[in-house]
Copies of this chain bind each other. A is one copy, B any other.
Amino acid sequence: MEKTKPRILAGFMELDPEDQISMNLMVDIIKGNFERFGFSPLDTVGIELSEILLAKAGGETEKQIYRFNKGDTDLALRFDLTVPLARYIAMRQSFLTFPFKRYQIGKVYRGERPKKGRFREFYQADIDIVCSPNLDIMYDSEICSVIYNIFKQLGVNDFTILISNRKILSGFLEALNEKDKIVEIFRIVDKVKKIGEEGVREELQGLEINGTNIEQIISFIKLNGPKERVFAEIEALNITELEFTKGVCELKSVVNGVELLGVPGDNYKIDFSIARGLDYYTGTIYETMLDDYPEFGSVCSGGRYDDLASHYTDKKFPGVGVSIGVTRLFDAFKKNNLINESGQKTTAKIVIIPIDNKTDLGAGFEFVTLLRANDINSEVFLADVKLKAKLDYANKISVPYIGIIGEDETKNKTVSLKNMKTGEQTTLPIVDAVNYIKHEITSGIKKPFVEMIKK
């Protein structure tokens, strides 16, 4: 028979068992924190009407979207989790309780040209808090606290959540009489980490902004640091534009809440250079940088928007949220060898090896049933092959323990446990063996998911 070459598309991630186990661990940490903060799960459909997904989008999104017809219907795969959330809320507004706090972790699709660190199919992990007609500014602080807790629990200690407020930058530009160029200026400022101060200056010159204003913009976006200093410098600007003072007031509230929620000063700072490319943010904006790995870019970004679902409903739904590009972040951790890998290719903690399948299988099954009843992931090696092949299997999948059951063990209802890391071996009654393994699993010091190498 002719064979089809087995392969997948470029820009799609598919993992080996050991990496998939790591990936799931990372997702579980993210999900656990979302739930710990009281966010509810949502799982929107993967295929939507193109009309829905493209109600707002344009430009890049429209080019990247996977769009196709099934019968007469014009369909598309979701390219983010925000548009589906907006549609979901507009659709179900009368059944939902507000503020509606939801998380969603799911695959999204963007048919961009694949390049390093970019994927066409990738997981996003989003949280949003949406209310109507108003959403209290304190929820913006809570988002920050979620980010802090996630990265802390992942084991990334040195990270900084950058916080700004779009109103401040736009109020500042109003004061400079550059209001009509706001969108373009935001877009240029947003690139400062890539193109540097000089690059920003050049691009601003391209907009025909006068030199004084350019220098003022540049010194403004260089403002960053602890709140006392930043707020003092901001006040020294003596700007009275309503947009500006409103933004400052919001930012003060957010920072105040962030502190009350216990986010240490080392892990956040105000930074006016962040602007977020997307034009729907209207207040607080966040980016998250890993201190020693600026090349990762922002690993968790988002912000406040005034009107989430305007394309589907007249009712106003302001919200605030952030998104983690899970696939991309995992890939970056992995490529930089930062993941504390167990090396295990199995979810099992122990593989039971019957020496003689004819006589020892029953005892093996009895032991495994007891292990499983005690919530210990475990398996019996069932193939009737030579002992060496059985041991090879356990070695190859890097299972932490094996339990050998031969004639004596079967007779005495015992098992010979071997710790595969230390090589220690001990024979125990099966009940004691279960307790031993249980104790070992729960008492061991857990390494963090990643161990960042200081640079």
Residues in chain A within 8 A of chain B (CB atoms): 1, 3-9, 12-17, 20-21, 23-24, 34-49, 51-52, 55, 66-71, 73, 75, 77, 87-88, 90-92, 95-97, 99, 101-102, 107, 109, 111, 121, 131, 134-136, 138-139, 142, 149, 257, 260-262, 309-314, 345-348, 351, 357, 361-362, 365-366, 369, 372, 375-380, 382-384, 393, 396-397
Given A47-B12, A379-B101, also A35-B347 (CB < 8 A):
yes
Q: Is B262 within 8 A of A379, CB to CB?
A: no
Q: Is A52 within 8 A of B6, CB to CB?
A: yes
Tell me the bound Cα distance from A75 to B310 in angstroms. Answer: 33
Given A68-B66, A313-B3, also A262-B369 (CB < 8 A):
yes
Question: In the complex, how many angstroms separate the beta carbon of A245 from the nearest chain B beta carbon?
Answer: 20
Tell me the bound Cα distance from A38 to B382 in angstroms. Answer: 13
Tell me the bound Cα distance from A9 to B45 in angstroms. Answer: 9
Q: Is B372 within 8 A of A136, CB to CB?
A: no
Q: Is B47 within 8 A of A351, CB to CB?
A: no
Given A5-B312, A16-B92, also A97-B397 (CB < 8 A):
yes
Q: Which residues of B lie under 8 Å from residue A36 when comparing CB positions? A: 372, 375-378
Given A49-B9, A314-B3, also A136-B383 (CB < 8 A):
yes
Tell me the bound Cα distance from A313 to B1 in angstroms. Answer: 10
4 closest A-B pairs by beta carbon, nearest first, are A68-B68, A38-B379, A38-B348, A138-B382
Tell me the bound Cα distance from A90 to B149 in angstroms. Answer: 41
Question: In the complex, how many angstroms separate the beta carbon of A148 from the nearest chain B beta carbon?
Answer: 11
